[in-house]
Amino acid sequence: MQESSSRPSDNTVSEQQSVETVFNQLNATFATGKTLDTGWRKSQLTALKRLLEDESDALQDSLYKDLGKSKAESWTSEIGFLLSDIKHTLHCLKRWAKPRKVSTPLVAQPGKSYVIAEPLGTVLVIGAWNYPLQLILAPCIAALAAGNCVLLKPSELAPTTSSLIQKLIPRYLDNTAIAVIEGGKDETTDLLALPFDHIFYTGGEAVGKIVMQAASRHLSGITLELGGKSPCLVERSADIAVAARRIVWGKWMNCGQTCVAPDYIVVEACVKDALIAAIIKEIRAQYGKAPMTSADYGKIVNKRHLHRLESYLEGANIISGGQVDHERCVMAPTLVDDPAADSGLMQEEIFGPILPIVTTPQIFDSLVALKARPKPLALYLFTGSREIEEHVIRTVSAGSVCINDTMMFMTNPELPFGGVGNSGIGRYHGKAGFDQLSHLKAVMVRKFWLDVKLRYAPFSSWKLSALKKLL
């Protein structure tokens, strides 16, 4: 246990403490230099690991209450994901934190140059509800590894997980440096008024703009992990059975409420029927004859989102699914045939279990329309053709590209994760997260023993021509 663990949990952030008091306390801790010590950082990451291991049952229960997540899904996409992130970070921290030597040009000799990663200060992490544990703690891992103090604001739309996080964090971590504040719009607005050194936000685009505007008042750094419509292209040479299996896995995990879930399919007409048949077969294989009652199938986070999703189905050409259980907040895995380009389904991020299937004569034909849309967080392509694979990777912009699978790129901590354009600003996971929440400070150290006069006035024509050759 950390030094903080003996304190009662309500000693960290209680209702009585204003957000400003908490913020000042974190800044005061940062000013002591305590978090610069990599030993301290490792101790906090180890304590977080212990929290996840000791409390995994309670965490799984809370994820079930908030989102109907099965134990297996909670483990793979939240708890297990975080544990491997911590293990990787602990393994690499010494290397990431080491000064990074770079060469020094002739004009600056004798001298040496390097880059050191220094912590930013106090980082505000604002999480989203769909992976309410992973999305608040993964940025926290990066922030602690980089030596920052952290204030966590979990999503109020996953209330059980949010309150459990607030209860557990102070029990395990150093509560002079890591704090949790629960709440929704009002509390977040209060937090955003404070001059944080960095704000790490995960959520929708509209609030992302509010966060960016608030950050501009203090010139706080920002990371915006947003969403959007992630397309999934299926070309005729793909292995249709494997493609369908992987699409069903990626689309209906957490009931489609995943920022990198395939939002819609674009399929070549000649394999469309085969793909639809294979997807329907796979839904049955993975979730049984009645997916809505499967223990492995989650629920929609709340009634507002369920109604939003239902409205997308009005007048839609439903191929399969479409059933809704209002009481349990569940919608069946649903396939929709060729929705209109101007429909809600094709204009807004679906963020639910509806999968539109858009037909194209050839994948190449669909790329112009795809490139005219906002840049997606993820782009999926199923193909057996190297030429098409390379063309799409090279010419279509997206936060991440995954060929012949969905979402698997998230399992590789060596790959940076983040959006581009409307899908976000900045990146994290592994070293990318460490760098994102560090300032990469340039250092040059010179010597006194040689001081060439060339750069000093008075200047002459020979000095200028020598400088032109040297610089």
From 55, 73, 225, 349, active-site residue: 225
Q: Which is nearer to ligand NAD, 125 or 278 (CB)?
A: 125
Q: Smallest gap, in angstroms, from Cβ of residue 417 to ligand NAD? A: 7
Q: Smallest gap, in angstroms, from Cβ of residue 248 to ligand NAD? A: 20
Q: Smallest gap, in angstroms, from Cβ of residue 224 to ligand NAD? A: 8
Rounded Cα distance, 145 and 36, in Å: 10
CB atoms within 10 A of CB 340: 12
Residue 192 exposed, middle or buried by CB count within 10 Å (0-12, 13-18, 19+): buried
Rounded Cα distance, 421 and 215, in Å: 18
Q: What strand order describes the sheet that includes 378-382? A: 318-320, 334-337, 354-360, 264-268, 231-234, 378-382, 400-403
**CA-to-CA dists, residue 161 to 63, 151, 171, 255, angstroms:** 6, 16, 16, 18
Query: 148 φ, ψ to 5°?
Result: -95, 160
Rounded Cα distance, 150 and 45, in Å: 13
Q: Smallest gap, in angstroms, from Cβ of residue 406 to ligand NAD? A: 15
Q: What tokens were used for 178?
A: 């890591």
Name the residue with the smallest CB distance to ligand NAD: 227
From 140, 259, 329, 402, active-site residue: 259
Q: Smallest gap, in angstroms, from Cβ of residue 202 to ligand NAD? A: 5
Q: Smallest gap, in angstroms, from Cβ of residue 153 to ligand NAD? A: 6
Q: Which is nearer to ligand NAD, 29 or 161 (CB)?
A: 161
Instruction: Collapse the DSSP code of 221 into the 3-class scheme (helix H, G, I; strand E, B; otherwise coil) and give the result.
Output: strand
**Is 259 a known active-site residue?**
yes
Q: Which is nearer to ligand NAD, 126 or 238 (CB)?
A: 126
Q: Smallest gap, in angstroms, from Cβ of residue 220 to ligand NAD? A: 14
Q: Which is nearer to ligand NAD, 30 or 129 (CB)?
A: 129
Q: Which is nearer to ligand NAD, 19 or 135 (CB)?
A: 135
**Is 140 a known active-site residue?**
no
Rounded Cα distance, 252 and 318, in Å: 17
Beta bridge pairs of residue 428: 417
Q: What tokens were used for 297?
A: 């199938």
Where does this chain bind ligand NAD (CB under 6 A)? Answer: 126-130, 135, 153, 155-157, 184-185, 188-189, 202-204, 207, 210, 225-227, 259, 349, 351, 377, 419, 424
Per-residue burial over 231-268, b if 16 or more Cβ lie within 10 Å, else e, is bbbbbbebebeebbbbbbebbbbbbbbbbbbbbbbbbb
Rounded Cα distance, 60 and 58, in Å: 5
Q: Which is nearer to ligand NAD, 190 or 338 (CB)?
A: 190
Q: What tokens were used for 49?
A: 């690991």
Rounded Cα distance, 394 and 439, in Å: 30
Is the Cβ–Cβ distance between 201 and 30 less than 8 Å?
Answer: no
Q: Which is nearer to ligand NAD, 47 or 377 (CB)?
A: 377
Active centre residues (catalytic): 225, 259
